[in-house]
Amino acid sequence: MLAKMTSKNQLTLPKNITAAVGPAEYFDVEARNGQIVLTPVRIQRGDAVRAKLAELDLDEQDIADAVAWARKLPATKKPGLVSKKSAK
């Protein structure tokens, strides 16, 4: 399928292509092996984040406590992180 680039470097994506990937307002753009690759990016809005926090029954103090706890840990000992030495 062809899409024409305008003099302002703009493309109009065919409707059936955008319908196949679902609704997206933003795309990650990458040049790979001489091709332009567009990947839809779903950006969470503040309302969605607040709704998820409410669903998990977390309040501002819970978040502040978690941040304080994470900041106390040395960088190499944070959960989920693997230091270069231990990865070998």
Residue 50 in any domain: the answer is yes
- Contacts by 28-35 with C-beta closer than 8 Å and gap 24+? none
Residue 71 in any domain: the answer is no
Q: Which residue, 33, 34, 39, is CA-closest to 17? A: 39
Residue 83 in any domain: the answer is no
pLDDT digits (tens, 9 = 90+) for 29-84: 999 999 999 999 887 778 888 888 889 999 889 989 999 999 887 766 555 655 55
Total-model pTM: 0.47
- Is a pLDDT exceeding 70 seen at residue 87? no
Identify the domain containing residue 48 by its residue range: 23-66
Rounded-to-integer distance, Cα 83 and Cα 46, Å: 33
Number of domains composing the chain: 1
- Is a pLDDT exceeding 60 seen at residue 11? yes
- Is a pLDDT exceeding 90 seen at residue 28? yes
**Res 51: pLDDT:** 86
**Res 47: pLDDT:** 82
Residue 46 in any domain: the answer is yes
